[in-house]
Amino acid sequence: MTISIDIFLMLLCIFRLLFVLPFSFYPKCRLRVFENRVLRRVFGPKRDEVTGEWRKLQNEELNDLYSLPNIVRVVKSRRMRWAGHVAHMGEDRGVHRVLEA
């Protein structure tokens, strides 16, 4: 089954936008693994200059190719932005009351 690069990038963006579950170490680790798996699929294998064999890209090589911040930082920053948005809401709003409870 072949999936185009556009679909993978779209899925990665959607996953970044919609991920709002509670954040502990385990989900962070799984999230990084998922992101690296998608990036490996998007960028494909690399031919080793010395041996001439195909190999998977290592995490550092993926980070160099994909220069955006990692997904854990994006999720944390979006949560902080959302908390600031809720803090500016009126106190009669339901979301504001839940956040202060």
pTM for the full predicted model: 0.53
From residue 12, alpha-carbon distances to 31, 62, 74 in Å are: 11, 14, 12
Domain count for the chain, please give it: 1
Task: Report which listed range, 47-56, 76-85, 91-100, is most confident.
Answer: 47-56
Q: Residue 34 is part of which domain span?
A: 5-100
Rounded mean pLDDT, 30-40 = 86
User: Which of the two residues, 12 and 68, has the higher pLDDT score?
Assistant: 68
pLDDT of residue 56: 92
d(CA 3, CA 26): 28
d(CA 66, CA 32): 13
d(CA 99, CA 87): 8
Collapsed DSSP state (helix, strand, coil) of residue 63: helix
